[in-house]
Each structure stands twice: as structure tokens, then as C-alpha cells.
Amino acid sequence: MFLTRKNKKGVTLVELMITVTLILLGLIPLLKMFISAVTGTQMTGSATVADNIAKQMLAEISQKKWDEKCTVKGEYISLTSASDPLGTDAGEDANDKTTFDDIDDYKGWEEIPPRDLSNKPIPGYEGYQLKVDVIYVTDPTTGVTSSASKTDFKQVTVTVFWQKTGAANRYSVKRSKIFYNGIKY
């Protein structure tokens, strides 16, 4: 004869399997959210680094004269005497920014990776690329109307690119500043 107990205590294997399954199903969305949050944080960090690189380059360029023909920073020169075209001038090396003495010398400048004031690569920034463009603009309030002829306003745009490891997409941060002829900036 078999004895049966009326008050069974404990859980069966089936109940345990159902509980574990439900817990795992609940953890999958949480794991996806965690991975997404980590990825978002990495992208935000990379964008912040890129923005700081762009700001540093604009600060570096801000230390230069407005034009090759200026004797000092902040001096106004007539547009007829301004150097033409934009870019490096005689005696400057397009591959060595330590030879640059005015804003438009940076036109077309690229750094892979970004470099310090002495033109040496900055350790830790190997994944970033920097490009600079300089154009004349006719409307200093917007800076969007470029001009083929000389104006009193030069817009410098610094773009910093990076690519997330293993990703096909390339990301960028862009900063611009307009420099005025005859103004200390």
C-alpha cells in the first residue's frame, strides 16, 4: 500500500523550469536595453571627443592673423591687398602647420590622427580624422553664402570624423567660425 501525504512542500521540476523560462524571457529585453545604452554612451563619448578636437583646432586657428599681408593679428587690410587664393603662401609648407601664419593657410588641412601645436600626433586619438575648410562668405550672420571673390569675412569649418569599431557608418562633428578682417578674435 502506498502512502500519500496531503501537505506537499517544495517545487516540482516542471514548476522550476517554467519559472526559469519566464525569468530568462524577462531578461532578454533588459539585456538588449543595456547593450543599446552602452552603445549610445560610447557614441556620445566619441562625439564629445570629436567636438573637443574641433574646438581645439578652431582655437589654434584663432591665434593666427586674418591674412598673410597683415603684420599683426587684428589689423585691417584692404581687400585689394589681401593674398589670393586662399591656402598656403610662399615659404609655407602645406604638410607642416607649424609654418602657417594666417587663417587661410589651413584651407584643405587634414590630420590623421589629430595633431598638437608642434604637428605631432596626439596619442589616443588614432581613430579620429580632422579636415579644415576656409572660404570667403558675404553674410557674416549666417556664413552660408560663399563668395568666389574676396570679402571681409572668412569662414573656417572644422570637421572631425570617426568610425565605430566594426561599423560601416562613419560619423562626424562639424564646427564653424567666421573671422572678420581687422578684428581681434
Which residue segment(s) compose the domain that 100 sits in?
A: 25-180
pLDDT per position as a tens digit, 164-176: 766 677 899 999 9
Establish if 96 belongs to a structural domain: yes
Return the percentage of the chain with pLDDT > 70, whole number.
Answer: 91
Q: How many other CB atoms sit within 10 Å of the CB of residue 140?
A: 15
How much is the pTM? 0.77
Residue 64 exposed, middle or buried by CB count within 10 Å (0-12, 13-18, 19+): buried
Establish if 6 belongs to a structural domain: no
Overall domain count for the chain: 1
Residue 80 exposed, middle or buried by CB count within 10 Å (0-12, 13-18, 19+): exposed
Q: Is the pLDDT of residue 49 over 70?
A: yes
Q: How many other CB atoms sit within 10 Å of the CB of residue 61?
A: 24
Establish if 10 belongs to a structural domain: no
Residue 139 confidence (pLDDT): 77
Please list, in sequence order, all residues whose beta carbon lies within 8 angstroms of the beta carbon of residue 43, skipping any fewer than 6 positions away.
Answer: 164, 171
